[in-house]
Structure 1
């Protein structure tokens, strides 16, 4: 946004809570009008935006026909997401979208149009904008040190919502007038990982990939989405997932780092609390959640030709709360080495219910010594080669096999939730068999799978 005066933006006050900003969903920018009312709204918004542009930033020459169509498409997609996201009160109507050129290239909003509409609509009072808010990648809730970069939050103003209502379009009826063209979106994303100049963390950005291996991964995820599309889950939107690979810029990257399946449809079952996930139904029938016990620790052992003792609670340490032990393990795999301080999120989560600093209750060194004594395999962790990205990839491959086999061999769909899956209760047994066998096929030993 080099040519943009950020002083003109209606930046929100600092009073917005971090919880609301973190609850913001990402806008896909793929809405297109499907009714006369929607087309009329888009035409009106385009006209008043161009009028504003002519006043504040006159162009030397008129846009060519193709450029004008692209601009109108951007107006449509951006406005529809602004109106649509006003429904989500847990985020106070905000959504986020980064300026990543590669990612925006799959949408109807180019980087140039994004910058223009951000400036013009903020000046016109149609959109509210926050300051930059950094998003970081986490592994089991703990920071991996990988930043996804900074992203503003955006939301429709009352003026825009009132304008849309004049055309009979509200946040609740938006989908009656606009539809998503999700075919533009690739179901596979590859991100880079670059250390910052201070050596205190890394940043991440989308990378452009092509070639047989990339296309093979795209096809695998498309097959899973086709299965989910016929699965019958009673969600607000047909479930869709995408696969996120990490460290695409590493010399040894071969679609073998990261690779988790993330929900990219509106009703994000992965972010629901466990008790809410239990309420999901499939064609009106109840579902169950199958959870792989200590999946990441199981995989760490298996990668070194060892087998985790599933008869013993792997996170039990005398005198230490289980969630503390589990959180420290997750943080160690996220960092790829021994910790030097209690992780921030673990400390915050401990403070909330207890009112006490975790460092006043436990000595980090003593707890880590006990944890490593119980699981010496933790000494094998190594940042960049044997850490969260490797464990995540191995786990995701098991779930890819399970989901594909369930769909192709049994006509059954399941919703992935990282180290668990949700399936219709009537298909519990076949799903459990497929999941256990997927781990067994990959590692030569069988995990414990619990039914919730």
Structure 2
């Protein structure tokens, strides 16, 4: 079973057949899988054929890698909201492809979004053989399948979720809530997102498949106090640049130019201190500096804490795995969370009252998102500068570093009330 991104890739469903050989393969698989369904129509629908081409493109790309990888994808209906390929269409395709022997499927547990629990897919020998018969060689896939063009607008630029909840130590995502785009606030927010989608549709982004479209995700839509003011981060849909490591993002290009990433230091901490009228010391460029606890460990504790409503009793599984991968050690043994908490509260005494604080993670994320989204929108609309958001940072062409830094600083101060500490990497 795959448990990390090194052994599996996200099933993005963004490919489309380009060559005559790829179109012939898609047609053959589409007809075969359609025939195994219960439709009275003789020929597959366009939606089914489009889904088939996208599925095949991803399957063959993973099979061609060395070592061969599998694909993963959560199979919750809600994970397909706003996507080019809908849940019902894809589910039917998978069932047909499995029955025809084109793909093997390892059903996930709980429908989660982590690789270890998401459903996994692998191309079977039948599909590989058929691709070969159509004249498609693994080393020439780029000549046969290509990423779909980025859309100028999407039907669901906003996604609204209910409150998340914890089941044991695992956080469960809230249900999707329908959105009425006729209401003024929703229409305004949706327009801003599709303004960006329209702008980025024509921007050259390398690697080409690292961005499709933006969607802004709001949380706690079932809360009595909700007024489009919880969460609100801008997400690049699918397996995008946002999930790449920073060293990989640094290799990207925008409009043919190398990029730099401008980061807001201690964003949530800065916002919380400003809201409670106890601003962080502006002369401290690194609030996570500590004589005995590594910066990363201290930051992990703060991130965990501000993402929850109480103090954690143990480190998360992801943090333990990350620490072990980096050091070979055991996080809980080397840095007991109780000891880290004690030192963190000395550095940030304001956090002592976090469990009873009226400000929650959704509030902090919303304020941060407003600063970042307004920055990205202003740079695009007023300066024609592409800026890709990564939650608390933006990626811009190197030559636009100065103007982008200035706009981000201005927008952060507008929404937070204090200037941020920014760094360029």
TM range (shorter): 0.7 to 0.9
Instruction: Choose 117-126 or 200-209, whichever is displaced more.
Output: 200-209
* 1:47-446 alignment runs, 5 A limit: 47-52=31-36, 59=38, 63-64=40-41, 68=45, 70-86=47-63, 92-100=69-77, 103=80, 106-111=83-88, 113-133=89-109, 151-169=118-136, 172-173=140-141, 176=144, 180=148, 182=151, 186-195=156-165, 201-211=171-181, 212=183, 213-237=185-209, 239=211, 240-264=213-237, 268-312=240-284, 313-382=286-355, 386-446=359-419
Count of aligned positions: 418
Q: What does the per-residue CA deviation read over 1:85-138, in whole Å, with 9 as the maximum and x for residues that have no partner?
A: 545668814131423158357544442x4343323322322012123155768x
Evaluate the alpha carbon distance shift between residue 32 and residue 343 of structure 1 in structure 2; reply closer, same or farther with a 3 A threshold. closer
Evaluate the alpha carbon distance shift between residue 86 and residue 185 of structure 1 in structure 2; reply closer, same or farther with a 3 A threshold. farther
What is the Cα-based RMSD across aligned positions, in Å?
3.5
Question: Would you say the 8 A contact 1:130–1:154 is kept in 2?
Answer: yes
Task: Tell me the distance in 2 between the aligned counterparts of 1:161 and 1:148.
Answer: 24
Q: What does the per-residue CA deviation read over 1:402-440, in whole Å, with 9 as the maximum and x for residues that have no partner?
A: 111111222211121221112122111110100000011
Displacement of 1:448: 1.0
Q: Can you give the 5+ residue segments of structure 2 that lack an aligned partner in the other structure?
A: none
Evaluate the alpha carbon distance shift between residue 298 and residue 415 of structure 1 in structure 2; reply closer, same or farther with a 3 A threshold. same
Task: Tell me the distance in 1 between the aligned counterparts of 2:197 and 2:207.
Answer: 14
Q: What does the per-residue CA deviation read over 1:278-315, in whole Å, with 9 as the maximum and x for residues that have no partner?
A: 22233443322211111111111112223111323311
Task: Tell me the distance in 2 between the aligned counterparts of 1:168 and 1:187.
Answer: 39
Structure 1 residue matching 2:314: 3-state secondary structure:
coil
Displacement of 1:67: 8.0
Task: Tell me the distance in 2 between the aligned counterparts of 1:384 and 1:26.
Answer: 40
TM-score, normalising length from structure 2?
0.84
Task: Tell me the distance in 2 between the aligned counterparts of 1:276 and 1:49.
Answer: 37
Q: Can you give the 5+ residue segments of structure 1 that lack an aligned partner in the other structure?
A: 1-15, 54-58, 138-146
Structure 2 residue matching 1:19: 3-state secondary structure:
coil
Question: Would you say the 8 A contact 1:241–1:261 is kept in 2?
Answer: yes
Displacement of 1:27: 2.6
TM-score, normalising length from structure 1?
0.79
